[in-house]
Structure 1
Amino acid sequence: MSLSGCGRDQGQEAGEPRPVRAVVIEKSKLGETVELTGSIQPETEAALSFRIGGRMVERFVGAGDTVKAGQLLARLDPQNEQNALRSAQARLTAAQGRLREARNVFAREQSLLERRYTTKTQYDQALTAVETAKSDIEDATAQLKIAQDNVSFTELRSDFPGTIVGRAAEAGEVVQPGQVIFRLARTGGWDAVFDAPARILRDAPRDARVDLALTDDRRVTAVGRVRQVDPQADPTTRTFRVRVTIQSPPPEMRLGATVSGRVRLDATAAIAIPAAALTESDGRPSVWIVDPGTMTVALRNVKVARFTRDAAVVTEGLKPEDTIVTAGVQALHPGQKVRLLEAGP
């Protein structure tokens, strides 16, 4: 009975091809558009701080203020520095007096030595006193310059025009050298900053165009170009920081605003097939190929680059004009005859 049953199955398979749906594939250029969310940040931002410590007595600007190059932003109490400046000026005046006195003594000893009314030792001592007085002048001049610089360091001024995007101290506070007082964004350049996965960076073209829009108002748009990609991924998110220069940003795109960026990845020669056409062979993705001459099927391994919502993008294993089975793939075996119910162009 087993043998007769098997014979009937084989006869049925030989006489009745299995109906399947299939499509004839075409190779095309496929490019994916991706969208990321980021924020607007200044292209150049500097942390401004005093070079000396002290009590801040005046603050002239706040967050959001526009400043010019060299504009006074804040001031420390200059009392100690001004006292040190007056002391340095007095030391220089005293050193200058000692030099004049030493030169007078030296001139007298030189005259006496020529007439043999003094000793060579006293002459040498007078000459040494002049050289020492000159050194004192140089030291006092340097100390005066330091004191003058310290007085100027009690004033914090902007190095370039820009916008104050943050402040970290108030009048009355005692601040330390190097402590951040303001954060200044340079005028003339905004960046849209995104965190992008490595796959997007691999497929994105160089100097990619990015279409930008405010997330809370899609009518506000701009165009940007990729300016910088961080060389190292974030250790937590494994994404790369990407900075996009915004070309002629509209006034509505303010610092800190949330924006979306759309970029089209490089088009690659590939074949998009229905995801239902995929099966598996030896742990690798495969498809059933229909031989149009014998109307039999054979299994062929393929390489899938990526998946879209309802398709698989294949880069290896298929060629144009191949006919692949798109429905009924799980019920087939190699060499089986099939009958096409529907074939796509």
Structure 2
Amino acid sequence: MQLNKNGYEPSAWTRTLTVLSALFLLWGCGKGYGEQQAAPPPPPEVVTVTVTPRKIELTTELPGRTSAYRVAEIRPQVNGIIQKRQFREGSDVKAGQLLYQIDPAPFQVALDSARASLGKAQANLPSIRSRVERYTELLVDKAISRQDYDDAVSAVDQAKAEIEYWKTQVAAARINLGYAQVNAPISGRIGRSNVTDGALVTAYQPLALATIQQLDPIYVDVTQSSAELLRLKRNLETGRLSADRENGKAVRIVMEDGSPYPLEGKLQFREVTVDPATGSYTVRIVVPNPEHLLLPGMFVRALVQEGIAEAAILVPQQGVSRNPKGEAVALIVDDVETVRQRILILNRAIGDQWLVASGLSAGDRLIIEGMMNVRPGSVVKAISRDALTVDGDPPHANRPSGEK
């Protein structure tokens, strides 16, 4: 027999109530636990973007190198000794500016000699003409023979020819004297000098005295695959791309350090032949270069416009993956909140987005977050990316389940 704390034995009725209360509590707890286990889990949350076609400009990035707009190699046109170099290496020169002075003394002497000979020939002509006039009168009276008269007339013609000869000699001597001054044929930046004062130079020698390059504007020569050209023409013919009549020849330049060049170039021409070794052809672009940021031989990239895509589909790259076959796949949410898989054909990457050629349509909801928690056929709760908080991290309630 057990006694309570007051020393009395509990009655049978009290014991019965205690047992029934314990059983009721156990039954109630078991029922609540079973109902909690039977409740279905909520569908996983995913973040989606709605596919919206838009008009974009398609460009092709082509590698190339810069080259001078005009190049002039300075060579002497007469033999002589360099007296003085008249420019500073690496400076800008103007067309007609004196670059080198060749010793002019021998050319001045040749000019003076030719002038003297011309004067002598011109001085002989009047006397020969007077002789012809006298012989004409004597011939009438038959005081001289016909042969003497013909010789006098021929002497006049010879004197005139001699005068013309010495005139050309004077002109040639004057030209050679002018060639003693080596002037710049074009405006531009001149490089280092290959000769110094006192050097002996010869006419049209293989070694150039210096080289002038015009840097403003400057050429950018890029190469493009002939297959790309055919694809571009086909897209224009089928209407997938439309030509931009206003800005179709505008070209943007990216410098070799990745920074954009501030001024736009202009497409000048495409080569008419394809290099059989590489299957590519050259595209030449003219770029303004007033600050001389671009120098000949620099590696650059040119963004050449292909055309305008009126209804292009761009999607974030994070929403596209690859299946075991290497095909591009994406998951979308249909009208009944069910996940569907689409196989895509991608055109190219534009920034952090893919340009989709086929596989998606306007209005499709593409899953970009939460893809690891769902599979095709799963029912999900789709949350539009536009509905998420843009300032800072989105709240946990808006995040797909399983995302941190």
Length-normalised TM-score, structure 2: 0.59
Greater Rg by CA: 2
**When the two structures are aligned, how many residues end up with a matched partner?**
315
CA distance in 1, matches of 2:304, 2:104: 58
Secondary structure, counterpart of 2:354 in structure 1: strand
CA distance in 2, matches of 1:68, 1:246: 17
Q: Which amino acid aligns with 1:82?
A: Q
Q: What per-residue deviation string (whole Å, max 9, x for no partner) do you get for residues 281-306 of structure 1?
A: 99865556665359474655x44221
Deviation of the 1:155 alpha carbon? 0.7
Q: Which amino acid aligns with 2:270?
A: P
Q: 1:306 to 1:222 in 2, by over 3 A?
A: closer
Contact 1:72–1:157 (Cα < 8 Å) also in 2: yes
CA distance in 2, matches of 1:181, 1:143: 28
Q: Which amino acid aligns with 1:182?
A: A
Contact 1:20–1:339 (Cα < 8 Å) also in 2: no
Q: Which amino acid aligns with 1:306?
A: R
Contact 2:333–2:382 (Cα < 8 Å) also in 1: no
Q: What per-residue deviation string (whole Å, max 9, x for no partner) do you get for residues 68-106 of structure 1?
A: 554432111234323432332243233224433422321
Q: Which amino acid aligns with 2:348?
A: R
Q: Structure 2, unaligned stretches of length 5 or more?
A: 1-42, 233-242, 386-404
Q: 1:106 to 1:192 in 2, by over 3 A?
A: closer
Matched, 1:182 2:210: yes
* Matching residue within 75, 87, 92 for 2:101: 75
Matched, 1:147 2:161: no
Greater relative contact order (Cα 8 A, min sep 6): structure 1 or 2? 1
CA distance in 1, matches of 2:45, 2:200: 82
Secondary structure, counterpart of 2:315 in structure 1: strand
Contact 1:223–1:246 (Cα < 8 Å) also in 2: no
Matched, 1:277 2:320: yes
Cα-Cα RMSD? 4.9
Q: 1:324 to 1:167 in 2, by over 3 A?
A: same
Comparing 24-33 with 194-203, which one deviates more in the overlay? Answer: 194-203
What residue in structure 1 maps to residue 287 of structure 2?
Answer: 244
CA distance in 1, matches of 2:69, 2:336: 64
Q: Which amino acid aligns with 1:139?
A: Y
Deviation of the 1:150 alpha carbon? 0.7
Contact 1:73–1:158 (Cα < 8 Å) also in 2: yes
Contact 2:104–2:177 (Cα < 8 Å) also in 1: yes
What residue in structure 1 maps to residue 196 of structure 2?
Answer: 170
CA distance in 2, matches of 1:119, 1:238: 80
Q: Structure 1, unaligned stretches of length 5 or more?
A: 1-17
Q: Which amino acid aligns with 1:63?
A: E
Length-normalised TM-score, structure 1: 0.67
CA distance in 2, matches of 1:195, 1:106: 71
* Matching residue within 329, 350, 357 for 1:315: 357
- The equivalences for 1:52-63 within 5 A come to 52-63=78-89
What residue in structure 2 maps to residue 12 of structure 1?
Answer: none
Aligned sequence identity (%): 23
What residue in structure 2 maps to residue 5 of structure 1?
Answer: none
Q: 1:264 to 1:80 in 2, by over 3 A?
A: closer
What residue in structure 2 maps to residue 231 of structure 1?
Answer: 270
Q: What per-residue deviation string (whole Å, max 9, x for no partner) do you get for residues 6-58 of structure 1?
A: xxxxxxxxxxxx98957442223456899999999875554333322333222
Contact 2:339–2:380 (Cα < 8 Å) also in 1: no
Q: Which amino acid aligns with 1:340?
A: V
Contact 1:40–1:191 (Cα < 8 Å) also in 2: no
